[in-house]
Chains A and B, each alone.
Chain A
Amino acid sequence: MQKAELLPGTLNMLILKAVSLGPEHGYGVLLRIEQMTNQVLTIDQGALYPALYRLEDKGWVSTKWGISENNRRAKYYTLTAAGRKRLGTEIDGWNRLAAAIAIVINAKPEGV
């Protein structure tokens, strides 16, 4: 399958979206994003954790230790109210950007 490059600045949004579907641990976030995009997007494992820690530091996700599906102790990330708001802003921003880019790349030569 063809893979796509992750655009810089979009990782936070993807993580927040993934977590908004329900509490998930770090590895689970990774899998969830890959599954949702049918393996088109893969997240660099080295980038995931600093991003998660940054989101926690900003108060957009909260953490709690729990037991994973295969009976392991794992740290679960949950979206906070502030995080939900932030996700909304990021999605709006992304949509505007995508729409603007779409207009540019779909432009047809007119009267040239």
Chain B
Amino acid sequence: MRAVLSAFLRQVRRSHWERDMDEELRSHIEARAADLERQGISAADAARRARVEFGGIESLKERCREASWAARVADECSRNLRLAVRSLIKRPGFTAVGVISLALGIGANLAIFNLVERLLLTTLAVRDPEGLYQTGSIQPDGQFRNWASYVHFDGLRRNTDIFEGTLAWSQWTREVEANGFNEKMLVAFVSGSYFPLLGVQAHIGRAFTDEDDRPGVANIAVIGHSAWQKYFNGSGDVLGKNVQINKVPFEIVGVAPPGFTGTVPGEPLDVVIPLHGNLNFNKNAITSEGMMWLNTMVRLKPNLPLEAAKSIYRERSLESGKAMRTKLGRLDKPNPPTIVPAARGYSALRNELSRALLVLMGLVAAVLLIGCANLSTLLFVRSAGCIGEMSLRLALGASRGQLIWQWMTESLLVALAGGVAGLVLARWIVDLLLVFVQEESRQALQFQTTPKMAIIAVMLTLFTSLLFGILPALRASKASPGVMLKESQRSVLGGRKHLARAVLAFQIAASLALVTGAALFVRTLSKLNADSGGVARSEIVYAHVRFPRDAPPPDGFLDDVADRLKQSQVVAAASTGRLPMLGGAGWSWATVPGYIPTATEDNIVYLSSVAPGYFRAAGTEILAGRDFEEKDRVWPNKVTIVSESFVRHYFGGRNPIGEKVRVSHDPRFVEIVGVARDIKYRGLREPISDVSYTPAVRSRGGTIIARPAHAGNQAAAIQEVRSAVMAASKNAIIETGTLEDVIQRSLRRDRLVTQLSAALGVLGLFLAAIGLYGVMAHEVASRAREIGIRMALGASSWGIIRTTLREAALVTGLGVLVGFPASVALAYLAESLLYDVAPSDPLAFAAAALILSFSALIAAFWPARQASRLDPVQTLRCD
């Protein structure tokens, strides 16, 4: 390896400059020979004489090289490189720790930055992205929401005085058949204004206009550029062919330009069809006021200030919302409408991940810093070890600059190897992270070694090598030429030790922050997993059942299935109704006679329509009153079962059974017949909300939930539900699963953060332990003589161990002390990611400090034991 490297270096050094010099000298000799020939000397003689006159060509070249700075530098560099490579090979432990920790550090930083860039920083590939805005409102939780029905979109685009244009879109994953491929693709429904307003021209064919987005026009589609390449080989005769979306054919009229990925970063656009194309799948899509399926974007009128547009929009939205609010009896404050910039598009994934990504960014930066501090510590130890060599070289006339260069070359080499490995690792780390992201986004978020990423990798490499290399290098070069000749090297450690310890303490402090973060996230995840949400969460299995339009089942199909399941030995309880804890069914505003709400009160009530037996199947207790019965299943509903929190809210301690309330858009009052235990209706992380259950009228499709007779036997229960459905109808399209799986999917962000922070915490801990070990081992080696004397004077080996450990404890304690406030600050930054755990959670902090101290103890114990085993006679005799 060394031979290969030095041969390579020789090659580089020689290459250009040496060739030039060779040619110049040769042409000189030839010119001289030609002159001599002109004086009448024979060609052979002339050539010979010219060479003789010129003299020794190799020694001349050497003098030329010395005269030339570039060559001199190349020479010194190659010498430094040789030295550095030799010394790195001599210490494989240090080299391995250095390269691996930097590779992981740089790789993790590149990986997280890759996601941050794609999701948070990249602007849309459209005309003037800075001119794009989104209209919507700020929800009580502080989040901006933008969902709109087609009716709302239609109203929005009438604001032509403030908006230059308005567009709407909605994208879903659908089964698509294209050119023989049958795959899940991302289908976007877009308004006719979409392409014109974004300023996007078709690559071939044409894009949509408003003419294509009307009732009654033909089914047409534009396909994305990458889908065109993938499914049609980029062939020009794609125009006029069909793609089938859920078996409905759409004629391809154009291909989107390369690089255009729509308005949602991180989601590639495969097939685009007009909004009215959705009528093929949902007859109410255009007319329904309640079907909020669209995201909207606007371009402001040029020269209209954002603030002016905002206030006009706010006024109008509040005004138009008023009538609807009175009709519904809404009492809570309307969410403030607003306009926000949309140059970077709209991404639910971004909304979900941005805080997590920023926290992870902080964590990976901490890991890189720890890695640097670790290398720095190890280099300090080494610089102490070769003071003799350094002072000898200084005495022999080397300059300090040369010594620093030599040390830096070594650091640079380690960093370079780490950087290259990091660039490779980054791709792998991103792939690992993308497991937590839904499938269609993975490809667009994958790591690519773009020039930008390469530049960042190089910068990180240079930065880290400077960071960990410069202090030890400066220290090492400070050896005075006299030192080695005067005394043994032991006595000069003094000042150097403090700096090494400070770096070590910093490293421990940063590790504490990492471990604390990991502990907080682990606690969060375990709390999330321990929360039952008010249902038999780990037991419930479900089946979503639907039917093809041409083969509908008999009325009451689902109840038929539930009845069949009641005979089963495998299933303990089964019913129909919504899968709990995932929300989504709808909500309304409650009116309770005799209850006078305050002006700002939130009187939202969430609705769930369920069949008799639902509560038993879900494992939710009925605390008072009764379950629904068959006689309740009439339209309009006459009865309701409400949740505990609803009772607390509107009835205080009173018995609500028999009271009449209004809980839906239907103006009629219904009677409360039962009270059910609170459940996490909208999701695990959401607070408990008021819920009103209404008896489901008999329905064809929907969801069956069931609980196995023997806990843990979900697979058999799913099989049982499946065969019951198939027995009732052959045409049913069934999707089955367990509630726990669905919940785990919804916790993917939490798992991502927890697992990553735990991995980073372990890495930080490991590096801190290595650093501590290095320093302590050196300490023991350099104080062997002192220890020997103390042992000769009667110190016990336990006493020696204790003194050595005390030193380690001091540094660790200092690190923990410094790291504590930093950890608290980081924890508060991550507060919104925590669940039921305070950022100052004493348990997490205690655990982190304990784990760190314990690791430090283990790391320091080995050198301490070595110290206690020194042979006093040996240590005193040597030297």
Nearest to B28 among chain A residues (CB) is A27
Q: Is B25 touching A49 in the complex (CB atoms < 8 A)?
A: yes
Nearest to A51 among chain B residues (CB) is B67
What residues of chain A lie closer than 8 Å to B30, measured between beta carbons?
Answer: 72
What residues of chain B lie closer than 8 Å to A90, measured between beta carbons?
Answer: none
Instruction: Assess whether B548 is interfacial by the CB under 8 Å rule.
Output: no
Do A46 and B60 contact each other (CB < 8 Å), given the known contacts A53-B68, A57-B67, A57-B68?
yes
State which residues 1-20 of A face B: CB under 8 Å: none
Instruction: Assess whether A23 is interfacial by the CB under 8 Å rule.
Output: no
What residues of chain B lie closer than 8 Å to A53, measured between beta carbons?
Answer: 64, 67-68
What residues of chain B lie closer than 8 Å to A68, measured between beta carbons?
Answer: 27, 31
**For A27, A70, A72, which residue has the most chain B Cβ atoms within 10 angstroms?**
A27
**Contact flags A44-68 to B (C-beta < 8 A → 1, else 0):** 0110011101101100000000001
When chains A and B are docked, how far (Å) is the Cα of A72 from the Cα of B32? 13
When chains A and B are docked, how far (Å) is the Cα of A58 from the Cα of B28? 23
Do A27 and B31 contact each other (CB < 8 Å), given the known contacts A46-B55, A54-B67, A73-B23?
yes
Instruction: Assess whether B20 is interfacial by the CB under 8 Å rule.
Output: yes
**Contact flags A62-101 to B (C-beta < 8 A → 1, else 0):** 0000001010111100000000000000000000000000
Q: Is B54 touching A46 in the complex (CB atoms < 8 A)?
A: yes
What residues of chain B lie closer than 8 Å to A27, measured between beta carbons?
Answer: 27-28, 31-32
State which residues 22-55 of B face A: CB under 8 Å: 23-25, 27-28, 30-32, 34, 53-55
Nearest to B60 among chain A residues (CB) is A46
When chains A and B are docked, how far (Å) is the Cα of A72 from the Cα of B29? 12
When chains A and B are docked, how far (Å) is the Cα of A70 from the Cα of B53? 21
Q: Is A49 touching B64 in the complex (CB atoms < 8 A)?
A: yes
Q: Is B54 touching A73 in the complex (CB atoms < 8 A)?
A: no
Rounded to whole Å, the gap between the CB of A104 and the closest CB of chain B is 34
Q: Is B69 touching A57 in the complex (CB atoms < 8 A)?
A: yes
State which residues 29-55 of A face B: CB under 8 Å: 45-46, 49-51, 53-54
What residues of chain A lie closer than 8 Å to B66, measured between beta carbons?
Answer: 50
Set A56, A74, A75: member contacting B68, Cβ < 8 A: A56
What residues of chain B lie closer than 8 Å to A26, measured between beta carbons?
Answer: 24, 28
Set B53, B63, B69: member contacting A50, Cβ < 8 A: B63
Rounded to whole Å, the gap between the CB of A59 and the closest CB of chain B is 10
What residues of chain A lie closer than 8 Å to B67, measured between beta carbons?
Answer: 50-51, 53-54, 57
Q: Is B27 touching A50 in the complex (CB atoms < 8 A)?
A: no
Q: Is B27 touching A72 in the complex (CB atoms < 8 A)?
A: yes
What residues of chain B lie closer than 8 Å to A46, measured between beta carbons?
Answer: 54-56, 60, 63
Nearest to B69 among chain A residues (CB) is A57
Rounded to whole Å, the gap between the CB of B108 and the closest CB of chain A is 44
Q: Is A49 touching B60 in the complex (CB atoms < 8 A)?
A: yes
Do A45 and B68 contact each other (CB < 8 Å), given the known contacts A68-B27, A73-B27?
no
Q: Is B24 touching A50 in the complex (CB atoms < 8 A)?
A: no
Set B20, B56, B63, B64: member contacting A75, Cβ < 8 A: B20
When chains A and B are docked, how far (Å) is the Cα of A54 from the Cα of B483? 38
State which residues 57-99 of B face A: CB under 8 Å: 60, 63-64, 66-70
When chains A and B are docked, how far (Å) is the Cα of A63 from the Cα of B56? 24
Interface size on A, residues (CB 8 A): 18
Nearest to B72 among chain A residues (CB) is A57
Set A50, A70, A74: member contacting B64, Cβ < 8 A: A50
Rounded to whole Å, the gap between the CB of A68 and the closest CB of chain B is 7
Rounded to whole Å, the gap between the CB of B312 and the closest CB of chain A is 65
When chains A and B are docked, how far (Å) is the Cα of A46 from the Cα of B25? 10
What residues of chain B lie closer than 8 Å to A74, measured between beta carbons?
Answer: 24, 27, 31
Nearest to B31 among chain A residues (CB) is A27
Do A50 and B60 contact each other (CB < 8 Å), given the known contacts A45-B54, A56-B68, A72-B31?
yes
Nearest to A72 among chain B residues (CB) is B27
Rounded to whole Å, the gap between the CB of B290 and the closest CB of chain A is 79
Rounded to whole Å, the gap between the CB of A55 and the closest CB of chain B is 9
**For B20, B28, B70, which residue has the most chain A Cβ atoms within 10 angstroms?**
B28
What residues of chain B lie closer than 8 Å to A45, measured between beta carbons?
Answer: 28, 32, 53-55
Q: Is B24 touching A75 in the complex (CB atoms < 8 A)?
A: yes
Rounded to whole Å, the gap between the CB of A73 and the closest CB of chain B is 7
Nearest to B57 among chain A residues (CB) is A46
Rounded to whole Å, the gap between the CB of B377 and the closest CB of chain A is 41
Rounded to whole Å, the gap between the CB of B681 and the closest CB of chain A is 79
Rounded to whole Å, the gap between the CB of A43 and the closest CB of chain B is 12
Q: Is B23 touching A70 in the complex (CB atoms < 8 A)?
A: no
When chains A and B are docked, how far (Å) is the Cα of A49 from the Cα of B24? 10
When chains A and B are docked, how far (Å) is the Cα of A17 from the Cα of B342? 68
What residues of chain B lie closer than 8 Å to A75, measured between beta carbons?
Answer: 20, 23-24, 27
What residues of chain A lie closer than 8 Å to B24, measured between beta carbons?
Answer: 25-26, 49, 74-75
What residues of chain B lie closer than 8 Å to A70, measured between beta carbons?
Answer: 31, 34
What residues of chain B lie closer than 8 Å to A57, measured between beta carbons?
Answer: 67-70
Rounded to whole Å, the gap between the CB of B52 and the closest CB of chain A is 11
What residues of chain A lie closer than 8 Å to B55, measured between beta carbons?
Answer: 45-46
When chains A and B are docked, how far (Å) is the Cα of A54 from the Cα of B69? 8
Rounded to whole Å, the gap between the CB of A39 and the closest CB of chain B is 13
When chains A and B are docked, how far (Å) is the Cα of A70 from the Cα of B34? 10
What residues of chain B lie closer than 8 Å to A54, measured between beta carbons?
Answer: 67-68
What residues of chain A lie closer than 8 Å to B68, measured between beta carbons?
Answer: 53-54, 56-57
What residues of chain A lie closer than 8 Å to B60, measured between beta carbons?
Answer: 46, 49-50
Rounded to whole Å, the gap between the CB of A44 and the closest CB of chain B is 8
Nearest to A58 among chain B residues (CB) is B69
Rounded to whole Å, the gap between the CB of A15 and the closest CB of chain B is 13
When chains A and B are docked, how far (Å) is the Cα of A56 from the Cα of B390? 34
Rounded to whole Å, the gap between the CB of A108 and the closest CB of chain B is 45
What residues of chain B lie closer than 8 Å to A72, measured between beta carbons?
Answer: 27, 30-31
**For B25, B56, B67, which residue has the most chain A Cβ atoms within 10 angstroms?**
B67
What residues of chain B lie closer than 8 Å to A56, measured between beta carbons?
Answer: 68
When chains A and B are docked, how far (Å) is the Cα of A68 from the Cα of B32? 13
Nearest to B66 among chain A residues (CB) is A50
When chains A and B are docked, how far (Å) is the Cα of A54 from the Cα of B66? 9
When chains A and B are docked, how far (Å) is the Cα of A26 from the Cα of B68? 16
What residues of chain B lie closer than 8 Å to A25, measured between beta carbons?
Answer: 24, 27-28
Rounded to whole Å, the gap between the CB of A91 and the closest CB of chain B is 23
Rounded to whole Å, the gap between the CB of B179 and the closest CB of chain A is 57
Rounded to whole Å, the gap between the CB of B474 and the closest CB of chain A is 29
What residues of chain B lie closer than 8 Å to A49, measured between beta carbons?
Answer: 24-25, 28, 60, 63-64
When chains A and B are docked, how far (Å) is the Cα of A33 from the Cα of B7? 41
Nearest to B23 among chain A residues (CB) is A73
What residues of chain A lie closer than 8 Å to B23, measured between beta carbons?
Answer: 73, 75
Rounded to whole Å, the gap between the CB of B187 and the closest CB of chain A is 62
State which residues 128-177 of B face A: CB under 8 Å: none
When chains A and B are docked, how far (Å) is the Cα of A25 from the Cα of B24? 9
When chains A and B are docked, how far (Å) is the Cα of A26 from the Cα of B34? 15
What residues of chain A lie closer than 8 Å to B20, measured between beta carbons?
Answer: 75
What residues of chain A lie closer than 8 Å to B34, measured between beta carbons?
Answer: 70
When chains A and B are docked, how far (Å) is the Cα of A73 from the Cα of B27? 8
Rounded to whole Å, the gap between the CB of A52 and the closest CB of chain B is 8
What residues of chain A lie closer than 8 Å to B56, measured between beta carbons?
Answer: 46
State which residues 315-350 of B face A: CB under 8 Å: none
When chains A and B are docked, how far (Å) is the Cα of A26 from the Cα of B32? 11
When chains A and B are docked, how far (Å) is the Cα of A72 from the Cα of B25? 13
When chains A and B are docked, how far (Å) is the Cα of A32 from the Cα of B122? 64
Rounded to whole Å, the gap between the CB of B411 and the closest CB of chain A is 29
Nearest to A70 among chain B residues (CB) is B34
Nearest to A45 among chain B residues (CB) is B54
What residues of chain A lie closer than 8 Å to B53, measured between beta carbons?
Answer: 45
Could you show 19 A-B contacts with beta carbons less than 8 Å apart?
A25-B27, A25-B28, A26-B28, A27-B28, A45-B28, A45-B32, A45-B53, A45-B54, A46-B60, A49-B63, A50-B64, A57-B67, A57-B69, A57-B70, A68-B27, A68-B31, A72-B30, A73-B23, A75-B24
Which 4 pairs between the two chains have the least Cβ-Cβ distance? A53-B67, A54-B67, A50-B63, A27-B31
8 extra interface residue pairs, beta carbon distance < 8 Å, beyond A49-B24, A49-B28, A75-B20 = A25-B24, A26-B24, A27-B27, A27-B28, A46-B55, A49-B64, A50-B64, A50-B67
Residues of chain A at the chain B interface (Cβ within 8 Å): 25-27, 45-46, 49-51, 53-54, 56-57, 68, 70, 72-75
